[in-house]
Amino acid sequence: MKRFFIFFLFIAFCQSASAQTWQDTVNIISHLFDRYKPDNPGCQLAISRNGKIVFSKAWGLADIERHVPYTTETVTEAGSITKQFTAAAILLLQQQGKLSLDDDVRKYVPELPNYGPVIRLRHLLHHTSGIREWSELEAITGWPRTTKAYTNEDVLHTLCRQQQLNNIPGTEFIYSNSNYLLLTIIVERVSGMSLPDFTKQYIFKPAGMTHTSWRDDFKKVVPDRGVAYLKRNGIYKINMPNESVYGPGGLLTTTEDLLKWTNFFIDNKLGSPGLLAKQIALDPLPGGAEAHYAAGLFIGKFKGYDIISHTGQTAGYVGVVESLPALKLSVAWLSNVTEFKDSLFVGVTAIDNLFIKSTSSELPAKTPASVTLAPAKIKKYAGWYRNTKTNHGINITLMRDTLWLNNAPLIPINETNFSYLQSTIVFNNTGGFTYTTAGKVTIPFTKENPSNINAGYLKAFTGTFYSKETESSFSLIFKEGKLMLEQNYLKDVLLQPAYNNAFDLNLTVDSELSPVQTNILFKRNGKKAGPTCEVSMDDARKIKFAKIK
């Protein structure tokens, strides 16, 4: 997500008009996007300054089969950029006196389980509810997104079966589309209108968004919609979001409409009185962790400027919208192909630094002074550790008198404190350690025994396991000397041994996207593999499965 911030190299023409002509700026932009070839999938880019759109252009094709060019009016799906509109609907309903952000979610969705601690609407808004990510829950069933035409009702049914949360509400930020699906249901139950109708009346029309609607029915005909693609083995394939889940995503729009929206709400025109302060308000997190997620918007800093942003991806659609209010500048970019999602901004950082002057006089953070420790003092730290929140395992190794994790060294600050990339690791007297990120999020790890891997060890875990929470089962088989998982859409998924009784595997959340690392931790019954296990992904933790006899 941080890579998308580099879009603001386009401040060049706003801040340095004397340094280059407008045509120079146009040429720079065109060069950055000329990788979208005339016969390939394309993109839209729009830039606004002082409330006016000053640049808008499209590249490539909206539809390869029919050779339809991408234009500035091609409707493109915005992915998670959508969330700010769902959040805005909630804030409008609060202003209308129909709900409060401090309300219990079960006041409006009583079919959700009672987990003890109250989940409030604000927890959904800020991704601190602890409710598991629905797409990961469906992936665990063996039917990831794009393999079934999921609806909001399907997702609600899945969420109502969950027996526990990822975390105590309000204590941890875990991005979960489930939060915004529940907010969608609440908007519709409270207002008596569908979310598409509510947002059309109270948001799209007032903001002048004439090309914006919703993919609430994936079979609906949408004029001028671009077809989504992915590129695999040099060949473009159609990769459309064939589902009717909306609210967390599903917004159909253009970059010009997105900029009409950013100008509308940044000028404090949403609601009466304006709701901008509530849109960008952050809820504090315990333990000093930095909060960055407001009402469907990421809030941060870019070269000393406040920045409001969100990215999005659904199937083959990718996008970003960002605003720097102090500069009265907004940029929106949408594309119908994932081909350049990760490499689009390679080399752009240097141009960015050339044109944007930082407003901050702060010096870079100093790197803590390191010390040299004898191998005998750090050897005890080598081994397997378990993330107590997700069960995921990591292996710290000792090579060349240095501790290593994922091909990066742990730099000793003293005998227990180590610097690791932009984070810190502090070992404790119980054999574990605490990992603290640059954003001050702390994650506890415990020391675990290594696996004694042999055929007998692997065969002990074979069988079929069922979960009431996902209403699904998977089978583990011993095949060609390896432990494999088979489950509906999934075949021959390799289980890689981690620490003792734990395995890592890759499950697909979207059938056309890269798999997500998943952990299975088996509970022991004496010296034998027990009848239960926990399956964890990043945003859906510790789903319980029991062995079927």
- Is the bond preceding residue 273 a cis peptide, omega within 30 degrees? yes
- In order of their start, the domains of the chain are 74-253+272-320 (3.40.710.10), 375-446 (2.40.128), 455-548 (2.40.128.50)
Stated pTM of the model: 0.91
- pLDDT digit string (tens) for 132-149? 999 999 988 888 888 899
pLDDT the model gives residue 364: 59
For every one of its 549 residues, what pLDDT tens digit does the chain have, with 9 covering 90 and above?
444 444 444 444 444 444 467 677 777 777 778 889 999 999 999 989 899 998 899 999 999 999 999 999 999 999 999 999 999 999 999 999 999 999 999 999 999 999 999 999 999 999 999 999 999 999 888 888 888 999 999 999 999 999 999 999 999 999 999 999 999 999 999 999 999 999 999 999 999 999 999 999 999 999 999 999 999 889 999 999 999 999 999 999 999 999 999 999 999 999 999 999 999 999 999 988 999 999 999 999 888 889 999 999 999 999 989 998 998 989 899 999 988 776 554 433 333 333 356 655 555 556 678 899 999 899 999 999 999 999 999 999 999 899 999 999 999 999 999 999 989 999 999 889 999 998 899 999 999 999 999 999 999 999 999 999 999 999 999 999 999 998 877 788 999 999 999 999 988 887 666 778 899 999 876 555 568 999 999 899 999 999 998
d(Cα 29, Cα 4) in Å, to the nearest integer? 15
Structure tokens at 48: 């606004």
pLDDT the model gives residue 517: 87
pLDDT the model gives residue 5: 42
Structure tokens at 220: 């609906």
* Crossing angle (nearest 10°) for helices 177-191 and 152-159: 110
Other beta carbons within 10 angstroms of residue 409's beta carbon come to 15
CB 324 within 8 A of CB 8: yes
Strands 442-448 and 433-436: antiparallel
Give the CA angle between residues 186, 309, 332 to the nearest 5°: 105
Total residue count of the chain as it appears in this document: 549
CB-based contacts of 429, cutoff 8 Å, min separation 6:
none
pLDDT the model gives residue 29: 74
d(Cα 432, Cα 424) in Å, to the nearest integer? 14
pLDDT the model gives residue 288: 85
Q: Where are the beta strands (DSSP E) in 174-240?
A: 213-214, 229-232, 235-238
pLDDT the model gives residue 345: 47
Based on C-alpha coordinates, what's the Rg of the chain?
25
- pLDDT digit string (tens) for 286-315? 988 999 999 999 999 888 889 999 999 999
d(Cα 187, Cα 76) in Å, to the nearest integer? 24
